[in-house]
Amino acid sequence: MRITLLGPCTVQQGRTLTVLRPSGRTNLLVLLLVQHDRVVPARQLAEELWDGDPPVHAINDLHAHVSRARRYLREWDPSDSASLRLHTAFPGYRLTGNGLLLDLEEFAQLFVLSRSENSGTAEAAARQALALWQGRSFEGLRPGPVLGGIQKRLEEEKSQVRLRLTDLLLEQGRHAEAVPDLSELVTRHPLDERYHRRLIIAYHRSGRPAAALEAYHRARQTLIENLGMEPSPELRACLQNILDEGKRD
Any residues with CB less than 8 A from the CB of 154 and at least 6 apart, and which? 6, 104, 107, 137
Share of the chain above pLDDT 90, in %: 82
Domains of the chain: 2-101 (1.10.10.10), 173-249 (1.25.40.10)
pLDDT interval class at 153 (50, 70, 90)? very high
Q: Is the pLDDT of residue 13 over 90?
A: no
Task: Give the Cα-Cα-Cα angle 10, 15, 21 (nearest 5 degrees).
Answer: 25
- Find the mean pLDDT for residues 165-186: 95
Share of the chain above pLDDT 70, in %: 98
Q: Is the pTM of the predicted complex or chain greater than 0.85? A: yes
- How confident is the model over 185-200, as pLDDT tens digits? 999 999 999 999 999 9
